[in-house]
Amino acid sequence: MSVSNLSDRQQRAVDDLFRRIAPVADELGELFEARGHELALVGGSVRDVLLGRVGHDIDLTTDARPERVLEIVKDWADAVWTIGIDFGTVGVRKGGWQLEITTYRSESYDPASRKPEVSYGDTLEGDLRRRDFAVNAMAVRVPSHEFVDPFGGLPDLSAKVLRTPGAPEESFDDDPLRMLRAARFASQLGFSVDPKAVEAMTAMAGRIEIVSAERIREELDKLICGAHPREGLAMLVDTGLAAHVLPELPKLRLEIDEHHRHKDVYEHTLIVLEQAVGLETSGPDRVLRWAALLHDVGKPKTRRNEPGGRVSFHHHEVVGAQMAKKRLSELKFPKDVVADVSRLVELHLRFHGYGLGEWTDSAVRRYVRDAGHLLERLHKLTRADCTTRNKRKAAALSQTYDQLEDRISRLAEEEELAKIRPELDGNEIQEILGLAPGPVIGRAYKHMLDIRMDEGMIGKEAAKEALLKWAHAQGILP
């Protein structure tokens, strides 16, 4: 397919790319050509250019083997890295561009293996055939700038559809992770998935279990942080893939939420996620999004039928926090992400104890202290969790939370809530009690912190009297 098949807008995008990258791409293409090798921009780099999105990371492919690539670029590149060389990839930095040059290849899985076997190919068309979707199987040769699209990626791009270059069964059998990529691209790009691919995903969902947790996590995280996460998640559930990689999600489909206003807790969860996304202020917040997705996963385990036909989910936030921690840990998320998401799940109902605004200043202080650095995210999660269709009730909840935030702001100005400490520090407690550091001092510190939370600032002398009174009552002092 020649460049003339591009629309005027797409042609301008390609021309713009080469105006900016030509000094790099064309120089490199000429180096490879002079040594008898091919080089082409490929995959997501070409797709994104045609979608009008150009970054500074460029993927290229070549018939040269990795060792040969190293020979060609060693005196040209500003920096070279070989972390992916076992999979045929050499990383290169030139000026402000990051380039990944990968040898033509094909990947396949042994039925019992979690790692792809890499074999090298000899033609660009063969390399493109092994790629996940036709929209990622387009290339532009350098330095000639010839556009190559043997599998109809350009029409698919215009139709916003994801279709495998060959039979989807073969593609997904070669690399089962491509099934998750379909859902991820549906989330990131807002594309639909070809019905034949969906059918194959449904039939082959169990094949995903041979893929490592780390690779699954990467795809799920990109999906959650995409522009259309609902579409991607719905695809995982509808095809049965979620039952293998995120089983807590489809289980929510069986539960009716406590408001009896939504189809099920699964639908409620997707709405909460969408509303949380709408509250973001500076790009995707993975912690907030995962917390929104997992905030009600404890409901199936805590469901109880109550008199009068009511259904309760007592303590589902505590159970859900444990489940969220377990799932994210199994997916190999960083410890700080696991801790933050599970903490938000645990705290997401705390606001509902606020009622009509009768919380004491002490309760507000504890709310802030328990949330810690997650307070702003907790604000957003709590607001997103209101999905009632009763406009009067929704407005009342919003107004009540507005009042809580106002009180938090007022107290924060007066007392620096984020830095609340007992009025007596550890050294002062030791001196007053005449004790060395140890468990008793820890208990005393906690008691003084509770006083600080409950009563605010009472002054050093009153704090000392309170400490001595507690110590006598505990039998610590005679």
Q: Are residues 439 and 332 in the same domain?
A: no
Give me the pLDDT at residue 169, please: 95
Q: Are residues 7 and 51 in the same domain?
A: yes
Q: Which amino acid, one-letter code, is at 82?
A: T
More confident residue, 445 or 197: 197
Query: Considering all CA atoms of the chain, what is the largest pairwise distance in Å, rounded to the nearest integer?
Result: 94
Q: Evaluate whether residue 263 is within a structural domain.
A: no
Give me the pLDDT at residue 455, please: 78
Give me the pLDDT at residue 106, please: 67
Q: Are residues 317 and 427 in the same domain?
A: no
Residue 261 — very low, low, confident or very high, per pLDDT cuts 50/70/90? Answer: very low
Q: What is the mean pLDDT of residues 109-116?
A: 60
Residue 416 — very low, low, confident or very high, per pLDDT cuts 50/70/90? Answer: low
pLDDT tens digits for range 120-153: 888 999 999 989 999 999 999 999 888 899 999 9
110-119, 146-155, 316-325, range with the lowest pLDDT: 110-119
Q: Give residue 273's Cα distance to chain centre.
A: 12
CA neighbor of 124 nearest in space, from 37, 51, 50: 37
Report the share of the chain in percent with pLDDT over 70: 89
Using the 3D structure, point to which of 114, 140, 157 is the last residue of a domain: 157
Using the 3D structure, point to which of 401, 418, 435 is the last residue of a domain: 418
Sign of CA dihedral 211, 217, 222, 226: positive
* Rounded Cα gap, residues 474 and 467, in angstroms: 11
User: Residue 4 pLDDT more than 80?
Assistant: no
Q: Evaluate whether residue 451 is within a structural domain.
A: yes
Q: What is the mean pLDDT of residues 149-159?
A: 92
Counted domains in the chain: 4
Find the domain containing 128 and state its range. Answer: 3-157
Mean pLDDT, all residues of the chain = 87
Give me the pLDDT at residue 310, please: 79
Q: Are residues 194 and 225 in the same domain?
A: yes
Q: Are residues 8 and 132 in the same domain?
A: yes
Q: Are residues 229 and 366 in the same domain?
A: no
Give me the pLDDT at residue 415, please: 60
User: Residue 165 pLDDT more than 90?
Assistant: yes
More confident residue, 116 or 342: 342
| Token output for 20 | 């900016």
DSSP 334: -
Q: Are residues 81 and 188 in the same domain?
A: no
Rounded to the nearest 5°, which phi and psi values hold at 60? -130, 160
- In this structure, are residues 311 and 305 in contact, taking their beta carbons and an 8 Å threshold? yes
Using the 3D structure, point to which of 402, 418, 434 is the last residue of a domain: 418
User: Residue 259 pLDDT more than 60?
Assistant: no
CA neighbor of 394 nearest in space, from 403, 384, 404: 384
Q: Which amino acid, one-letter code, is at 274?
A: E
Residue 116 — very low, low, confident or very high, per pLDDT cuts 50/70/90? Answer: low
User: Residue 8 pLDDT more than 90?
Assistant: no
Give me the pLDDT at residue 362, please: 79
Q: Are residues 13 and 133 in the same domain?
A: yes
Asked whether the bond before 116 is cis by omega within 30 degrees of 0, the reply is no
Q: Are residues 14 and 148 in the same domain?
A: yes
pLDDT tens digits for range 289-306: 999 999 999 998 888 877
Q: Where are the beta strands (DSSP E) in 198-260?
A: none
Q: Are residues 131 and 181 in the same domain?
A: no
| Token output for 196 | 């034949």
More confident residue, 375 or 54: 375
Q: What is the mean pLDDT of residues 206-211?
A: 94
Give me the pLDDT at residue 17, please: 67
DSSP 65: -
- Position of tokens 């802030």? 368
* Rounded Cα gap, residues 316 and 319, in angstroms: 5
Q: Evaluate whether residue 478 is within a structural domain.
A: no
Q: Evaluate whether residue 256 is within a structural domain.
A: no
Q: Are residues 145 and 20 in the same domain?
A: yes
Q: Are residues 181 and 141 in the same domain?
A: no
CATH code of residue 92: 3.30.460.10
70-74, 98-102, 333-337, 453-457, range with the lowest pLDDT: 453-457
Residue 3 — very low, low, confident or very high, per pLDDT cuts 50/70/90? Answer: very low
Q: What is the mean pLDDT of residues 422-448?
A: 89
More confident residue, 13 or 230: 230
